[in-house]
């Protein structure tokens, strides 16, 4: 829990600084890259979370990975996390930053759960539908869960629409049980 609160604080501070520097979009792209890179690399996840590995080694590894790919503001965040021995929450800070950035820009996050990954065409359809419903731009977060069998579950903020086959089958089962 304290890691989560700390991540929000760091993310807010970085967003504030990025806004002052007029680099909030650039830093958002950096944070998306950081999350993607950490997610795709198990060795990097281990490196960041290991208390045994020295900070200097972590710093040099991160510089090697991200140098010339991220802005000076994002590099400053990484150095700050190293100095404060909080590098293990880098991914969480990056995620929180993107959430705060989307909130600032009025972009909704639509969480779509499907049995198989969304195609590009379906992704565009969902984005159009979300914009029609909310009147706001949106980004899609696709979660794959084969247990829903087919269809989809769309969640925008507090509103959820469940059009999954598993949900329809549960409804039929309840209906049969009530009629027997």
**C-beta of residue 87 within 8 angstroms of C-beta of residue 58:** yes
pLDDT at 128: 85
Question: Quick one: average pLDDT of 45-56?
Answer: 88
Percent of the chain's residues with pLDDT above 90: 33
Question: Which positions ≥6 away from 61 have C-beta within 8 Å?
Answer: 44, 47
DSSP, res 87: G
Question: Quick one: average pLDDT of 87-94?
Answer: 92
pLDDT at 2 over 60: no
The third-level CATH classification (topology) of the domain covering 2-103 is Peroxidase; domain 1 (1.10.520)
pLDDT at 57 over 70: yes
Closest CA to 11 of 85, 77, 57: 77
Average pLDDT, the chain: 88
Confidence band, pLDDT 50/70/90 cuts, at residue 6: very high
pLDDT at 13: 95
pLDDT at 94 over 90: yes
Total-model pTM: 0.70
Closest CA to 66 of 94, 85, 107: 94
Q: Where exactly are the structural domains of the chain?
A: 2-103, 107-179
Give the C-alpha separation, 66 to 60, whole Å.
10
| Alpha-helical runs (H) found in the chain | 2-21, 24-40, 42-49, 55-66, 72-83, 90-105, 120-134, 165-179
pLDDT at 127: 85
What is the distance of C-alpha 106 from the center of its chain?
A: 16
pLDDT at 1 over 60: no
Give the C-alpha separation, 116 to 150, whole Å.
8
- Quick check: helix, strand or coil at residue 101? helix
For 139-177, write each residue's pLDDT tens digit: 888 899 999 888 888 888 778 888 888 888 888 899 888
pLDDT at 53 over 50: yes
Give the C-alpha separation, 124 to 165, whole Å.
22
């Amino acid at each position: 829990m304290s890691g989560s609160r700390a991540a929000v604080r760091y993310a807010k501070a970085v967003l504030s600084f990025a806004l002052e520097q007029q680099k909030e979009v650039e830093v958002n792209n950096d944070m998306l890259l950081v999350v993607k890179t950490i997610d795709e690399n198990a060795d990097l996840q281990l490196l960041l979370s290991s208390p045994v590995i020295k900070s200097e080694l972590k710093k040099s590894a991160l510089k090697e990975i991200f140098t010339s790919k991220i802005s000076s503001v994002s590099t400053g965040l990484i150095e700050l996390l190293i100095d404060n021995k909080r590098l293990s929450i880098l991914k969480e800070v990056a995620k929180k930053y993107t959430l705060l950035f989307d909130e600032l820009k009025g972009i909704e996050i639509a969480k779509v759960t499907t049995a198989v990954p969304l195609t590009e065409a379906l992704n565009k359809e969902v984005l159009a539908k979300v914009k029609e419903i909310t009147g706001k731009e949106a980004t899609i977060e696709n979660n794959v869960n084969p247990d829903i069998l087919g269809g989809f579950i769309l969640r925008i903020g507090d509103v959820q629409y469940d059009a999954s086959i598993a949900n329809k089958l549960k409804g039929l089962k309840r209906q049969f049980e009530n009629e027997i």
